[in-house]
Chains A and B, each alone.
Chain A
Amino acid sequence: MNPQSNAMPEAPLDSQVPAPAVISATRRMYWSVRRELWESRSIYIAPLAVAALILVGFLISTVHLPDKMRGALALNPMQQHELIQQPYNFAALLIMGTTFIVAVFYCLDALYGERRDRSILFWKSLPVSDLTTVLSKASIPLVILPLVTFAITVVTQWIMLLLSTAVLLGSGVSVAPLWSHLPLWHMSLMLLYHLLAIHGLWYAPIFGWLLLVSGWAPRAPFLWAGLPLLAIGVVEKIAFNTAHFAAMLGNRIGGGSGGAASTAGSMSMDSLTQLAPVQFLISPGLWIGLAITAAFLAAAVRLRRYREPI
Chain B
Amino acid sequence: MACIEAHGLRKTFGTTVALDGVNLRVEEGRILGLIGPNGAGKTTALNAILGLTQYQGELKVLGRDPWTERDLLVRDVCFIADVAVLPRWLRVSQALDYLAGVHPRFDRAKAEGFLAKTNIMRTSKVRELSKGMVVQLHLALVMAIDAKLLVLDEPTLGLDILYRKQFYDSLLNDYFDCSRTIVVTTHQVEEVQHVLTDLMFINRGRIVLDCSMEEFERRYVELTVHPEQVAAARALKPILERQVFGRGVLLFDQVDRQQLASLGEVRTPSIADVFVGVIGNQAGQAQGAAR
Inter-chain contacts of A76 with B (CB < 8 A): none
B166, CB-defined interface residue at 8 Å: yes
**10 residue pairs bridging A and B, Cβ less than 8 Å apart:** A1-B118, A1-B140, A3-B166, A20-B104, A21-B104, A38-B94, A121-B52, A121-B81, A127-B71, A308-B53
**In whole angstroms, what is the CA distance A12 to B117 when docked?**
13
Inter-chain contacts of B138 with A (CB < 8 A): 122
**In whole angstroms, what is the CA distance A119 to B138 when docked?**
12
Mark B residues whose CB is within 8 Å of A.
Answer: 50, 52-54, 71, 74-75, 77-82, 84-91, 94, 97-99, 101-107, 109-110, 112-114, 116-118, 136, 138-140, 146, 165-167, 169-170, 173-174
Inter-chain contacts of B81 with A (CB < 8 A): 118, 121-122, 125
- Determine whether the beta carbon of B86 is less than 8 Å from that of A119: yes
Q: Which of A6, A30, A117, A126 contacts B99 (CB 8 A)?
A: A126
A129, CB-defined interface residue at 8 Å: yes
**In whole angstroms, what is the CA distance A187 to B226 when docked?**
97
Of B50, B102, B116, B136, which is in contact with the most chain A CB atoms at under 10 Å from its CB?
B102
Dominant SS among interface residues on chain A: loop
Inter-chain contacts of B140 with A (CB < 8 A): 1
Query: What string of 1s and 0s marks CB contacts (under 8 Å) between A167-189 and chain B?
Result: 00000000000000000000000
**In whole angstroms, what is the CA distance A306 to B52 when docked?**
8
**In whole angstroms, what is the CA distance A118 to B88 when docked?**
10
Count A-B contacts at CB 8 Å. Answer: 120
Beyond A19-B106, A118-B81, whether A31 also contacts B98 by CB under 8 A is: yes
- Determine whether the beta carbon of B117 is less than 8 Å from that of A9: yes
B106 CB to closest chain A CB, in angstroms?
Answer: 7
CB contact list, A1-32 vs B, under 8 A: 1-3, 5-6, 8-12, 15, 19-23, 27-28, 30-32
- Determine whether the beta carbon of B113 is less than 8 Å from that of A121: no
CB contact list, A252-270 vs B, under 8 A: none
Q: Which of B86, B105, B170 contacts A1 (CB 8 A)?
A: B170
Chain B's closest residue to A129 (CB) is B71
Query: What string of 1s and 0s marks CB contacts (under 8 Å) between A28-68 and chain B?
Result: 10111011001100000000000000000000000000000
Inter-chain contacts of A34 with B (CB < 8 A): 97-98, 101
Q: Which of B52, B85, B146, B169 contacts A19 (CB 8 A)?
A: B146
**In whole angstroms, what is the CA distance A121 to B85 when docked?**
6
Inter-chain contacts of B54 with A (CB < 8 A): 306
A299 CB to closest chain B CB, in angstroms?
Answer: 17
Q: Which of B52, B74, B110, B166 contacts A2 (CB 8 A)?
A: B166
Beyond A3-B166, A38-B89, A38-B91, whether A10 also contacts B79 by CB under 8 A is: no
Q: Which of A10, A32, A35, A120 contacts B109 (CB 8 A)?
A: A10
Chain B's closest residue to A13 (CB) is B110
Query: How many A residues face the partner with a CB closer than 8 A?
Result: 40
A166, CB-defined interface residue at 8 Å: no
**In whole angstroms, what is the CA distance A27 to B98 when docked?**
11
Beyond A1-B136, A118-B85, whether A12 also contacts B78 by CB under 8 A is: no
- Determine whether the beta carbon of A1 is less than 8 Å from that of B99: no
- Determine whether the beta carbon of B74 is less than 8 Å from that of A1: no
**In whole angstroms, what is the CA distance A38 to B75 when docked?**
24
Given A1-B140, A12-B109, A125-B80, list of 4 further CB < 8 A pairs?
A27-B102, A119-B85, A125-B78, A127-B71
Inter-chain contacts of A30 with B (CB < 8 A): 101
A128, CB-defined interface residue at 8 Å: yes
A191 CB to closest chain B CB, in angstroms?
Answer: 32
**In whole angstroms, what is the CA distance A114 to B87 when docked?**
8
Of A1, A120, A129, which is in contact with the most chain B CB atoms at under 10 Å from its CB?
A1
Inter-chain contacts of B78 with A (CB < 8 A): 125
**In whole angstroms, what is the CA distance A15 to B105 when docked?**
10
A124, CB-defined interface residue at 8 Å: yes
Chain B's closest residue to A124 (CB) is B52
Q: Which of A3, A35, A39 contacts B165 (CB 8 A)?
A: A3
Beyond A12-B109, A12-B113, whether A127 also contacts B87 by CB under 8 A is: no
B36 CB to closest chain A CB, in angstroms?
Answer: 20
Inter-chain contacts of A27 with B (CB < 8 A): 101-102
Beyond A3-B169, A118-B84, A119-B85, whether A11 also contacts B102 by CB under 8 A is: no
**In whole angstroms, what is the CA distance A124 to B85 when docked?**
11
- Determine whether the beta carbon of B117 is less than 8 Å from that of A19: no
Q: Which of B71, B112, B167, B169 contacts A10 (CB 8 A)?
A: B112
B11 CB to closest chain A CB, in angstroms?
Answer: 12
**In whole angstroms, what is the CA distance A22 to B72 when docked?**
12
